Structure formats: C-alpha cells, structure tokens
A and B are shown apart, each in its own frame.
Chain A
Amino acid sequence: MNPRRFKIYLGLLGLAMSGFVAAEPESKSLIKDFKFTPLAVKAGTTVTWVNRDDEPHTVVSDTGLFRSGGLDTNESFSYRFDKPGTYQIHCTIHPRMVATVVVSPPS
C-alpha cells in the first residue's frame, strides 16, 4: 500500500469509527459509598461502572449474565445491554449492594 493511500485509509477508518462510537449509546455509572445507582437505558447501551470507593467492588448480574472481576478504586467494567428487560445486579464482596438496570426498547 502506498503511503498516501494508507493515510486516506486511516482517515476513512477514523471517520467510520467516530461515527460508530457516536451511534452507540453509552452510560457511565459511579459506584460510591457502597452504593450502585439504579439505571434506565435504551437497548444497545453500553453501561460502564466506575468504582469510586477505596474498597473494591464487583458488578455481577443476579442471573449470571455477566460478572466483573474485582474492581479496585477507579477501575471500571462495561457491559452492553442489547435486550430490553429488567436486570438485577449486585456486588459479591458486599452482597447488600444491589441495583436494577431497566432496559427499554430502542426508540
């Protein structure tokens, strides 16, 4: 591939990727003071949980759909919710930490 073509290719790829990212709904959720925040998102949204506590947490689906590893301070875990429904999550280190993610059909 000649260098000029390669640059164009990269440019196109960049465009394609930025478009791709913009089209993907995202939601960021902070874990703080031993609490999850309940979430309501559209199907197709990627939810990213960020641990803001000094204590590690995990984000685990009650039904076993997903399970993060231990998240230390400022570490994060993402999961894309493709199907509408109500999802229960909890932290395996602090099982009293529970929350619901309500996923509605895409508009």
Chain B
Amino acid sequence: MSQDKLLQSRRAALKCMAYGGAGTLFVLAGGVLTPVDLALAGDYGRSDAKAGRLGKPLFVQISDTHIGFSKEANPDVTGTLNRTIDLVNGMAEQPALILHTGDITHLSKPAEFDLAQQLLGRLRTTELHTVPGEHDTTDPTVTEYFSRFGKASGNKGYYSFDHAGVHFIALINVLQFKAGGLGTLGPEQLAWVTADLKGRSSSTPIVVFAHMPLWTVYEPWGWGTGDADQLLSPLRRFGSVTVLNGHIHQIVQKVEGNVTFHTARSTAYPQPMAGEGTGPGPLKVAPELLPTMLGVTSVTARPHPHALMLSDSTLAQKGDA
C-alpha cells in the first residue's frame, strides 16, 4: 500500500472513530468477505470504479449496544446507537441484512429490550438476525431475550440461514457457563453445527456469529469459548469462513487457515485492552477522548492479505501516537 493510501485509510479510520462506535460492514469481494469500517460505507453501492472493485454490501454487524447503560463511560448509549443507525441508513446501497452479535441490553430489563427494539426498528434494512450476549440473559428466568428474539431458533438460541450464496450460522455461547470457565457451546449445539454443515459444498462461504469470541482472546477475563476448538473441525474444509463476535468492545482479528476471526466494536463504550486494569468493565475516559479511545482500542491482531480495508484499523492504531 502506498504512503498516500495509508494516509487516506488512516483519515477514513479516524473519521469512523469520530462516530464513537459504529458497526462493521461486510462486502463479498471475489468470494471473500471483507470487513470495512462503516465510515467508508458511504462509498459502497455507488457505480464508480472503487465501489465496483470492492463489491456489494452484504451485511452490517452491530454489536454490544448495551441499551440501559448510563454510566460515565458513555451516559448516552441511545445517542451513539442512533448515530450508528443513521450511518447505516445513510449508506448509498443498503445491506441486505443486519447482524447483532449480542449485549443488545445492559441488564436484560423489559424496558431496555423495548427501547432497543424501537431504536433498531429505525434501520432501513429490516432483516435483523441476533444472538444474545450474557447481558441479555441475566434475568432470573432468562426469558426476556427469547420472548422477543427466540423465534428464529425455536428458543434454542442457535440457527442457520442462507443469503446470497452465503451460509450463516448463529450460535449461543453465553448460557451454559461452567463456573470459572469460558463461554460454552455445549455438545448438543456442536452436534447440530456438524449436521448443519454436512453435505454443503466446501466452496460455500460460511459466516459464523456468536457473542463471545470463538477463540481465546484472553482467558483470565473469560474472553473466549472453552469448546470452540470442536467447532473448528467441521469448518476447516470450507474455503472461506468468517467468524464474527462482539463482547470485548474492540476489534481483534485472527486468521487461521481459511478461517478469519473478527470481533466488532461496541456502539456503547470501550473496554480496556486485555489484562489492563481490574477487569473487563466500561473504560472511563474524558468525553472528548471517547471517540479516540474507541478507535485506539480497536486493534487488528494480524493483517489479513485479503482484508485490505480492515487494515485501516491497524494502520490507525499503529499510526496514532
């Protein structure tokens, strides 16, 4: 990448940070799903050469909206979600789908879910697919999430669907916590994934999404899923696998063979980098620094040769003092 392009990318990434959150757009380019900062999304769907080269917007990933949170780290999570939604709605060509990778609410309260649904209802793209985060399942009976979003999965929390030749698998890893452990998929769900993938052509692009990272980002904070390695074996034969998570409120990416793991930013508040401070709570920063900090904590672990646009985040992180 030339120096000019580096600067351009960095500028765009900084522009994205100014929104203090935003989601991640995915485009299907040459069969490879490429995540792109939303600030660049306005360029998609245009008929110019750049847009044509990059592909058609397929879906947007929104994560960790934490509706109900009102602490110092961001007293207005409704406002930042609204700005994210405006950004998505402002895209020249609307994505076909929206994926929400959990922590829709902060405390699983009915009023929080109601407000979240009302806000998300403003999205021009009406096809919304969700998975719950552990913040969505803290009500004693664990029914608030499922009564609203459980239909797609028959209240199991995991389901699959196809869109534009891509096979999507939604997984739940926030329910069967073993004390002291990481997130858990459980044998029943793992068996279902194997059955779901059986007979599918290896050339089918696969998107797997769940709330907690499906690889171990940082075990002491529970940033991982204990039995995720068993998920990988049925996925390995596929040529393009994209695993999308939230939970850690910052971008971390890992590539393993044909599998790209990617965590999204939150639209609500940043969290510290792994191991910094007492625990994975909201990171308090000066209000004017909030957008910058969101940007700075958005780390790309390793550059992906195909994920050219995502490297913007890496460049911004590296380039910023």
A-side contacts of B137, CB under 8 Å:
92
Asked if B150 is at the interface (CB within 8 A of a chain A CB), the reply is no
Known: A72-B107, A90-B179. A58 touches B138 (CB 8 A): yes
Question: In the complex the two chains form, is B140's CB within 8 Å of A54's CB?
Answer: no
B-side contacts of A84, CB under 8 Å:
none
Q: Which of A9-17, A19-27, A94-102 lies at the interface with chain B?
A: A94-102
A-side contacts of B73, CB under 8 Å:
54
Known: A56-B106, A95-B181. A34 touches B138 (CB 8 A): no
CA distance A89 to B135 in the complex (A): 18
Question: In the complex the two chains form, is B139's CB within 8 Å of A69's CB?
Answer: yes
Question: In the complex the two chains form, is A33's CB within 8 Å of B179's CB?
Answer: no
- Interface of B: prevailing SS: loop
Closest to A70 in B: B138
Asked if B71 is at the interface (CB within 8 A of a chain A CB), the reply is yes
CA distance A72 to B139 in the complex (A): 12
- Interface of A: prevailing SS: loop
A residues 32-72 touching B (CB-CB < 8 Å): 33-34, 53-56, 58, 62, 67-70, 72
Question: In the complex the two chains form, is A54's CB within 8 Å of B179's CB?
Answer: no
A69 to chain B: closest CB distance in Å? 5
Q: Which of B35-43, B121-129, B279-287 lies at the interface with chain A?
A: B279-287
Asked if B55 is at the interface (CB within 8 A of a chain A CB), the reply is no
Question: In the complex the two chains form, is A95's CB within 8 Å of B281's CB?
Answer: no
Known pairs A90-B179, A95-B177, A96-B222 / 9 extra A-B pairs, C-beta < 8 Å:
A33-B278, A34-B280, A54-B281, A56-B135, A69-B107, A69-B140, A72-B106, A72-B107, A92-B134
